Homo-oligomer: A and B are copies of this chain.
Amino acid sequence: MTKEEIQSNFQSIQDQITRGIESADGKAHFSEDNWNRAEGGGGRTRTIAHGNVIEKGGVAFSAVHGPTPEKILHALKLKDADFFATGVSLVMHPQNPYVPIIHMNVRYFEMSNGIWWFGGGIDLTPHYVDQAQAQWFHQQLKATCDHHDSNYYPEFKKWADDYFYLKHRNETRGVGGIFFDRLNETKNKSKQEIWSFVEELALSFVGIYTHLIKLNKDKPYGERELLWQRLRRGRYVEFNLVWDKGTKFGLDTNGRTESILLSMPPQANWEYQHQVAKGSAEYDTLQLLKKEVDWINLIS
């Protein structure tokens, strides 16, 4: 796998995902925005808004290169090297509060000194947690992981629990998923094999989200559910701006702000000490926003 092949594959993945989302939405189409990075490379940002299903979403492809940012050199204890990074990132904010927010990212990084790795993840943020759907979502991820390595799912599920966590709220962003970083060649795994895992994961996205959309998009809702959706979107904003390492790194190193903040919801609300009634659907959701929930075995 050359970096050119990986880049071109990621671009195809973006194509398949945007076609799949347009088809699931049934109304809105993506707008495309091509941009160049002064230091090298660029991207193709696609955004969708005001759809039947998707209120605001983005699927970003980029492939950038140049001198490695000082912060990365420092973290890797390197003096000087060029880097190349390519990937696809997406976040979807649906209209209907019963359709979950979803996020996926797949990425490849390499340096002129030969270091390389893949990273990525997918996680689900329902405004209202449906246990059967959360279980099904984790089953899909586990199946993809298990095709490649039976250690992947338990390790990457825990990683997602730890990563998608709002320390200041003591709650997870949603029902988690999987997260992994710095996956590279080992004794028993080639670059090609790691790529196969990353690719299979990325290609599983459309089927997973289309299924979750179909299950929820026609559920009736009113002002109560919309207010709750906006408050939960507020938490999504808090995670992305306070804790997400990728967002912080991008904003701090002169990244392309509008692409980095694609993940922002169309609208988010805050209330001082919003209270939910014990036993309400909102209350039940909050009880499930915890680390270490064994979604696969939660219900039978």
A97, CB-defined interface residue at 8 Å:
no
Judged by DSSP, the binding face of A is: mixed
| Identity of the chain B residue whose Cβ is nearest the Cβ of A234 in the assembled complex | B264
Binding site for B on A (CB under 8 A): 33, 45, 47, 49, 56, 58, 167-169, 230, 234, 237-238, 241-242, 248, 251-252, 255, 257-258, 260-262, 264-273
| B270/A264 in contact, CB under 8 A | yes
Q: Find chain B residues with CB under 8 A from A264 CB.
A: 234, 270
A-B contact pairs, 9 of them (CB 8 A): A168-B252, A168-B257, A238-B241, A242-B248, A258-B273, A261-B270, A266-B269, A266-B271, A268-B268
B237, A49: Cβ atoms closer than 8 Å: no
Name the contact of A251 in the complex, choosing from B49, B168, B257, B267 (C-beta under 8 A).
B168
Q: Which 5 A-B pairs have the closest CB atoms?
A: A264-B270, A241-B241, A168-B251, A47-B272, A168-B257
Chain B contacts for A273, CB-based, 8 A: 33, 258
Q: Which of A252, A257, A262 has the most CB of B within 10 A?
A: A257
How near does chain B come to A99, taking the closest CB pair, in angstroms? Answer: 19
Q: Which residues of B contact A270 (CB under 8 A)?
A: 56, 261, 264-267
Say whether A242 contacts B251, CB under 8 Å.
yes
Q: How far is the CA of A49 from the CA of B273 in the complex (A)?
A: 12
Q: Is the CB of A269 within 8 A of B272?
A: no
Q: How far is the CA of A252 from the CA of B257 in the complex (A)?
A: 24
CB neighbours of A272 from chain B (8 A): 45, 47, 49, 56, 58, 258, 262
The winner among A168, A169, A258, A271 for most chain B CB atoms within 10 A is A168
Output the least CB separation between A34 and chain B (Å): 13
